[in-house]
């Protein structure tokens, strides 16, 4: 559930204005932001309460720790409502800091009130019903081994995420309704258009109503969203994220108000999109330069260490930074600027597209 890019969190000291958790803050007519605590950077996650046409809707619901649940309850109480007043709970993406108590909340909502997710994200949300652990852990370990980590290193690196995932109480299948990309839904007196924006999460949803966009973790004001290679099913998540940024840019919202999953609401949407694009370009260029500096095909973890010299402290750092570096190496490969040969479940990369004969013969 890493929120920001590895480099961002460690290398910059930009921290959002301190917010009071559990206190509703009016951000637009009929829209309140309630910040909830998370025990990791950047310290809080936002949920939004929408009200109009005598309807209340909650967007996202926090990490599900005791502190987070208490802050959410306090926020709703300050607005004079309970979960029983909600007409819907909308989830931007199935990361634990946005969805953990969804099942508990749904159980207290009116029986006909749905939990809404993008169709692409539904099965991922429901997969957390399997008791106790990361449902895609085997896949995550496999990806980390592909990057050059040992099984032990990969499993150690996943421990924190495993613990957070255990906080998730997903809703019952019959409560989960889906929206499709581009669909317009009426929520609390406004028409909202659903926008599929993968990259940070495969089924990430943004919601747009006139000049207002709920951006989830797709676009954050101060941190670059983590975009990692997690599965061959999403072969180029950097391109997915770039395409998603282009989709938001193409809306050309006049005087936009962006409501992010972390940090303060912001208006400099076009500038922020440009910064995030440049950040991806910079990191891809670093990965390519590091590849070129090698005189033999090399693993993603070697490239990760070259990029983040001395900044990887322990297995958790390794797997987070590795996931991002692999995303950039795969992005370079998709653009024919790098090539890859797999040997015994480990990927070896070299600069330049189109595998040379020499590379095909390569044995580590």
In angstroms, rounded to a whole number, what is the distance separating the alpha carbons of residues 93 and 240? 15
Encoded tokens for 103: 């099942």
Stretch that binds Zn ion, among 88-96, 122-130, 292-300, 312-320 (CB under 5 A): 88-96
- In the complex with Zn ion, which residue's Cβ is closer, 261 or 297? 261
> Contacts with Zn ion in 232-271 (CB under 5 A)?
261
Residue 194 vs 338, nearer CB to Zn ion: 194
How many residues appear in the chain?
A: 364
**Minimal distance in Å, beta carbon 216 to Zn ion?**
7
Minimum Å gap between C-beta 110 and Zn ion is 27
Query: Considering only 22-30, 133-141, 213-221, 308-316, which stretch makes contact with Zn ion by CB under 5 A?
Result: 213-221
| Contact between 3 and Zn ion per CB under 5 A | yes
Q: For residues 3 and 301, which CB has a smaller minimum distance to Zn ion in the complex?
A: 3
Residue 195 C-beta: closest distance to Zn ion, Å: 16
User: What x/- string results for residues 169 through 208 when contact with Zn ion is judged by CB under 5 A?
Assistant: ----------------------------------------
Q: Is the peptide bond before 217 cis (omega within 30 degrees of 0)?
A: no
For the sheet containing 176-179, what is the strand order?
25-28, 31-37, 44-52, 55-59, 86-90, 115-118, 176-179
* Cβ atoms of 75 and 34 closer than 8 Å: yes
d(CA 312, CA 324): 13
Three-class secondary structure of residue 265 per DSSP:
coil
Residue 60 binds to Zn ion (criterion: CB under 5 A): no
Q: Which is nearer to Zn ion, 97 or 121 (CB)?
A: 97
Residue 154 DSSP label: H
Min dist CB 325 to Zn ion, Å, is 19
Residue with Cβ nearer Zn ion (114 or 261): 261
- 4 or 147: CB nearest Zn ion: 4
Q: Which is nearer to Zn ion, 95 or 124 (CB)?
A: 95
Residue 292 CB neighbours (<10 A): 12
Q: Smallest distance, Å, CB 29 to Zn ion?
A: 26
- Closer residue to Zn ion, CB minimum distance, 95 or 241: 95
Part of the chain binding Zn ion (CB under 5 A), chosen from 3-11, 231-239, 324-332, 352-360 = 3-11
DSSP string across 273-308: HHHHHHHHHHHHHHHHHHHHT-SS-B-HHHHHHHHT
Shortest spacing between CB 72 and Zn ion, in angstroms: 15
Selected range binding Zn ion among 120-128, 164-172, 210-218, 227-235, rule: CB under 5 A? 210-218
Closer to Zn ion at the Cβ: 65 or 298?
65
The strand ranges marked E within the chain are 25-28, 31-37, 44-52, 55-59, 86-90, 115-118, 176-179, 184-187, 190-196, 205-209, 212-216, 257-260, 338-343, 346-351
CA torsion sign, 264 to 268 to 269 to 272?
negative
Backbone angles phi, psi at 264, to 5 degrees: -80, 150
Q: How many chain residues are in contact with Zn ion, going by CB under 5 A?
A: 5
Q: How far apart are CA 71 and CA 165, in angstroms?
A: 20
Contact characters 89-118, Zn ion, x per CB under 5 A? ------x-x---------------------
Contact residue for Zn ion among 69, 217, 236, 330 (CB under 5 A) = 217
Structure tokens at 212: 């207002």
Handedness of CA 67, 69, 70, 75 (dihedral sign): positive
Kindly tell me which of 93 and 328 has the beta carbon lying closer to Zn ion.
93
User: Residue 51 CB, nearest distance to Zn ion (Å)?
Assistant: 23
- Please list every residue from 297 through 356 that binds Zn ion, using CB under 5 A: none
Rule CB under 5 A: is residue 121 a binding residue for Zn ion?
no
Contact at 8 Å (CB) between 227 and 199?
yes
* Interface positions with Zn ion (CB under 5 A): 3, 95, 97, 217, 261
């Amino acid at each position: 559930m890493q929120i920001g890019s590895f480099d961002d969190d460690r290398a910059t000291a930009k921290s959002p204005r301190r917010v009071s958790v559990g206190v509703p803050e009016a951000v637009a007519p009929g829209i309140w932001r309630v910040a909830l605590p998370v025990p990791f950077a950047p310290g809080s996650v936002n949920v939004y309460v929408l009200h109009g046409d005598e309807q209340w809707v909650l967007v996202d619901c926090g990490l599900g720790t005791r502190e987070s649940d208490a802050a959410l309850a306090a926020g709703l109480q300050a607005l004079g409502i309970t979960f029983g007043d909600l007409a819907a709970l909308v989830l931007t993406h199935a990361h634990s800091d946005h969805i953990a108590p969804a099942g508990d909340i749904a159980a207290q909502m009116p029986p006909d009130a749905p939990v809404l997710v993008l169709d692409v994200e539904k099965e991922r949300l429901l997969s957390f019903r399997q008791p106790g652990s990361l449902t895609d852990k085997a896949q995550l370990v496999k990806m980390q081994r592909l990057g050059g980590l040992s099984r032990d290193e990969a499993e150690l690196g996943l421990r924190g995420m495993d613990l957070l995932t255990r906080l998730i109480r997903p809703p019952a299948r019959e409560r989960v309704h889906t929206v499709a990309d581009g669909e317009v839904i009426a929520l609390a007196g406004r028409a909202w258009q659903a926008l599929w924006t993968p990259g940070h999460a495969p089924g990430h949803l943004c919601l747009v109503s006139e000049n207002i966009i709920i951006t989830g973790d797709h676009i954050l004001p101060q941190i670059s969203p983590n975009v990692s290679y997690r599965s061959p099913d999403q072969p180029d998540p950097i391109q997915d994220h770039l395409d998603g940024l282009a989709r938001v840019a193409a809306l050309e919202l006049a005087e936009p108000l962006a409501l992010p999953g972390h940090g303060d609401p912001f208006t400099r949407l076009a500038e922020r999109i440009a910064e995030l694009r440049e950040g991806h370009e910079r990191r891809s260029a670093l990965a390519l330069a590091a590849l070129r500096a090698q005189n033999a095909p090399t693993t993603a973890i070697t490239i990760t260490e070259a990029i983040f010299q001395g900044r990887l402290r322990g297995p958790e750092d390794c797997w987070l930074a590795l996931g991002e570096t692999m995303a950039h190496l795969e992005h370079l490969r998709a653009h024919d600027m790098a090539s890859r040969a797999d040997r015994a479940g480990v990927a070896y990369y070299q600069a330049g597209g189109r595998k040379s004969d020499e590379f095909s013969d390569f044995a580590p």
